[in-house]
C-alpha cells in the first residue's frame, strides 16, 4: 500500500503558521505603533534640523529681520518696542553666525533699545 502525502493539508498548515506568526508580531509591536512612536519624533527632529540649516531658511530669516528693522526705524512708542521684541525673538531662532551683517546690526540695535 502506498502512502499519499496530504499536500493540501500541509499547504494550509504552513499558511496558518505564517498567519499566526504575523499576527503575533503585529500584536507584539502594537500594530507597529510602538516602533512608530519611538522613531517618528527622531525622524521629525532630523528633518527639522536639516530644514533650519538650509540656505533658503537662513536667507528668509535674514530678510525678515532686516524688514522688521526697517519697520522699527519708522515706528514710534509701543509699536517700536513690539517690533524690537519681535526682532530679538526671530534672531533667537537662528544661529547668530548665519546672520548677515545687516541683520546682525539690526539685532544689536534692537537689543540696545
Residue 59: name the closest of 103, 105, 92 by CA: 103
Q: 47 and 16, same structural domain?
A: yes
Cell of 92: 533667537
pLDDT in tens, 21-41: 999 988 887 777 777 888 899
pLDDT digits (tens, 9 = 90+) for 49-78: 898 889 999 999 999 999 999 999 999 999
Range of the domain at 43: 7-51
Nearest alpha carbon to residue 71 among 57, 56, 55, 85: 85
Q: Is 87 in contact with 69 (CB distance < 8 Å)?
A: yes
Mean pLDDT of the chain: 89
Query: How many folded domains does the chain comprise?
Result: 2
Are residues 86 and 106 located together in one domain of the fold? yes
pTM above 0.85, yes or no: no
* Same domain? 47 vs 69: no
Both 18 and 44 in a single domain?
yes
**Are residue 103 and residue 62 in the same domain, yes or no?**
yes
Amino acid at each position: 500500500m502506498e502512502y499519499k502525502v496530504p499536500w493540501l493539508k500541509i499547504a494550509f498548515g504552513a499558511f496558518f503558521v505564517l498567519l499566526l506568526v504575523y499576527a503575533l508580531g503585529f500584536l507584539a509591536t502594537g500594530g507597529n505603533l510602538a516602533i512608530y512612536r519611538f522613531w517618528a519624533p527622531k525622524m521629525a527632529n532630523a528633518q527639522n534640523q536639516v530644514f533650519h540649516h538650509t540656505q533658503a531658511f537662513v536667507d528668509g530669516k535674514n530678510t525678515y529681520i532686516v524688514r522688521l528693522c526697517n519697520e522699527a526705524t519708522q515706528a514710534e512708542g509701543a509699536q517700536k518696542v513690539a517690533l524690537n521684541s519681535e526682532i530679538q525673538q526671530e534672531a533667537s531662532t537662528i544661529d547668530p553666525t548665519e546672520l548677515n551683517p545687516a541683520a546682525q546690526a539690526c539685532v544689536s540695535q534692537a537689543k540696545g533699545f
